[in-house]
Chain A
Amino acid sequence: MDVMIFVKALIYIVLAPFIGGLLAGVDRIFSARMQGRQGPPLFQPFYDVFKLLNKQTTVVNSIQVLFVTGYLIMTIFTGALFFGGGDMLLVFFALSMSEVMMVMAAFSTNGPYSIMGAQRELLQMMCYEPMTLLVAIGFYYANGSFMVNDLIQAEVPAIVQIPGFFIGFVFILIIKLRKSPFDLSTSHHMHQEMVKGLTTDLSGGNLALTEIAEWYDLVLMMGIVGMFFITSNPISRVWAIIAISVVFFLETLIDNLFPRVKYITMLKVTWSVILIFAGTNLLILNVLK
């Protein structure tokens, strides 16, 4: 049984960058098509990372490299924990740790754009952290366990009991995947008011590591979306993949539909959505049980 955990984690560590990179490429093509353009090749994210790895790396200070590497390692650890079948609570705590690493990397550079990006990233974390914790709690209410290994053996899919949590989670995914209405900390498309936010002062290999970490993160997030649909029945995995595709397409659509908002709007909107959907759902679950 222990061996299976390591095998699953290893499969994630090996395959996630490829799947994440492909998803990022699909995202860019979808975006381009929505804007009436042809768009880049499917493998463009891989070309980008390859180029970045082959460029000179200028570092502002050496601690920055440590934090960026820490961000990558923590993200991989988080994903491996989730796909290995670990504790949902621990997954989300490790996830915020990886975000903190990225924020520290940006703060350490002392550049104005990086610091502005880091501060906005902290605000974003304030917006989505309650929801990530609520998701773990929701799964516990639905299936009586925090362990992913137990959750995937459920009789009925979690979405039946906690649809409100699903809506809330898809909503905060906009923030987590750095999509347009809420991409305050790093402009999803370059050349905007804060240059590139968090990653402004990263170059070459460091930027490549950040990109790879974001691919890992993307796969992890899509995995959590799939968790809402997976049961002990193998056919449920097909439903999970369909749900992931729909959610991913929806995120791209939202990215292209809405302009960026101010942080205060983001805070109000996200917390309202969380309170209305997840809060009500939690209340109903409490009354019924």
Chain B
Amino acid sequence: MKISKSPWVLHYDGSSCNGCDIEVLATMTPLYDVERFGIINTGNPKHADVLLLTGGVNAQTAPVIRQLYNMMPDPKVVVACGICACDGGIFKECYNILGGADKVVPVDVYVPGCAVRPEALIEGVVKAVGILEEKRKKLKESMKAGYCTVDYSKIAIHTTADDYDPSNQYDAVLTEEALRQQAEEKIKASAKPAPKPAAAVAPKAPAANAAAPAQAPTAAPAADNTKKGENA
């Protein structure tokens, strides 16, 4: 059985003109009916596999997109729908537009068009689903190498109040690479022997030109965190 048979989609509109949003909704109408492929439009990042982004990204929506991306459980893929989400489109020169969705999160599939055709959108999601399958294999490999996914959630549990800085909390994008670095640092910090570096087959992070991905607030060693927590 394949994981790609039920991609649940989260749709976020980062300053789009709503043309693409209407087409996203059109894919769920009886004419196109994406539920044929098991695609469900969830409103919940914690249930989602595919993040559909429409419209160019501006300074206000960038932290929201990062947060949504970080909240989605691995494996996950990002689809940029419409030319604005791909590189900014006709709004590219605007003072408030940062550019396409790839300025803030690693994008896996670009679906151009203004507005994007529902057929193209469905094909984009189906392609994204193929990438999802590959990512799952990589995730399994990284779990075998000792960077278990459970580690990520444990990091989240042990975050103290001092680690939470509202000014930069959404600056980091928790790509698989960044999370692995965090996990590695954690493992190094603890006294246990480090896992065998089967990193010869280390999966590449998807084209991440994101801003400073590794500098997550949780990167500090666990001992420091507890000390800070007591002081506070």
Task: Tell me the A residues contacting B by CB distance below 8 Å.
Answer: 28, 32, 35-41, 44, 46-48, 50-51, 54-59, 61-62, 190-192, 195-196, 199-204, 207
State the main secondary structure of chain B at its contact with A: mixed
Pairs of residues from A and B, 3 with the lowest C-beta to C-beta distance, nearest first: A47-B5, A56-B73, A191-B43
B71: nearest residue on chain A (CB-CB)?
A: A58
> Contacts A47-B38, A55-B49, A56-B152 hold; do A196 and B136 have CB atoms under 8 A apart?
no
Give 19 A-B contacts (CB < 8 Å), ordered by A residue. Answer: A38-B33, A40-B37, A41-B38, A47-B5, A50-B5, A50-B6, A51-B5, A51-B6, A51-B49, A54-B3, A56-B75, A57-B153, A190-B42, A190-B47, A192-B43, A195-B43, A200-B46, A203-B46, A203-B73
Say yes or no: is B74 at the interface (Cβ < 8 Å to chain A): yes
Do the beta carbons of B74 and A55 come within 8 Å of each other? Answer: yes
CB distance from B49 to the nearest CB of A (A): 7
A192: nearest residue on chain B (CB-CB)?
A: B43
Per the bound structure, the CA–CA distance linking A196 and B2 in Å amounts to: 25
Which residues of chain A have C-beta atoms less than 8 A from B223's C-beta? Answer: none
CB distance from A106 to the nearest CB of B (A): 13
A39: nearest residue on chain B (CB-CB)?
A: B35
Do the beta carbons of A62 and B157 come within 8 Å of each other? Answer: yes
CB distance from A157 to the nearest CB of B (A): 39
Per the bound structure, the CA–CA distance linking A202 and B30 in Å amounts to: 30
Do the beta carbons of A40 and B35 come within 8 Å of each other? Answer: yes
The 0/1 profile, CB within 8 Å of A marked 1, for residues 117-154 of chain B is 00000000000000000001001000000000110110
Per the bound structure, the CA–CA distance linking A81 and B149 in Å amounts to: 37
Per the bound structure, the CA–CA distance linking A202 and B46 in Å amounts to: 7
State the main secondary structure of chain A at its contact with B: loop
Per the bound structure, the CA–CA distance linking A62 and B153 in Å amounts to: 10
Do the beta carbons of B38 and A50 come within 8 Å of each other? Answer: no
> Contacts A51-B49, A55-B73 hold; do A61 and B43 have CB atoms under 8 A apart?
no
Do the beta carbons of A44 and B46 come within 8 Å of each other? Answer: no
Per the bound structure, the CA–CA distance linking A205 and B42 in Å amounts to: 17
CB distance from B203 to the nearest CB of A (A): 15
CB distance from A221 to the nearest CB of B (A): 24
CB distance from A72 to the nearest CB of B (A): 18
Which residues of chain B have C-beta atoms less than 8 A from A48's C-beta? Answer: 6, 38
Per the bound structure, the CA–CA distance linking A230 and B185 in Å amounts to: 63
Do the beta carbons of A37 and B3 come within 8 Å of each other? Answer: no
Which residues of chain B have C-beta atoms less than 8 A from A62's C-beta? Answer: 157
The 0/1 profile, CB within 8 Å of A marked 1, for residues 152-171 of chain B is 11001100000000000000
Do the beta carbons of A196 and B43 come within 8 Å of each other? Answer: yes
Which of B38, B43, B153, B156 has a CB less than 8 Å from the CB of A40? B38
CB distance from B177 to the nearest CB of A (A): 15
Do the beta carbons of B36 and A40 come within 8 Å of each other? Answer: yes
Per the bound structure, the CA–CA distance linking A55 and B135 in Å amounts to: 11
Which residues of chain A have C-beta atoms less than 8 A from B42's C-beta? Answer: 190-191, 196
Say yes or no: is B209 at the interface (Cβ < 8 Å to chain A): no
Which of A37, A39, A55, A190 has a CB less than 8 Å from the CB of B44? A190
Which residues of chain B have C-beta atoms less than 8 A from A50's C-beta? Answer: 1, 3, 5-6
Do the beta carbons of A204 and B73 come within 8 Å of each other? Answer: yes
Say yes or no: is B67 at the interface (Cβ < 8 Å to chain A): no
Which of A37, A56, A207 has a CB less than 8 Å from the CB of B47? A207
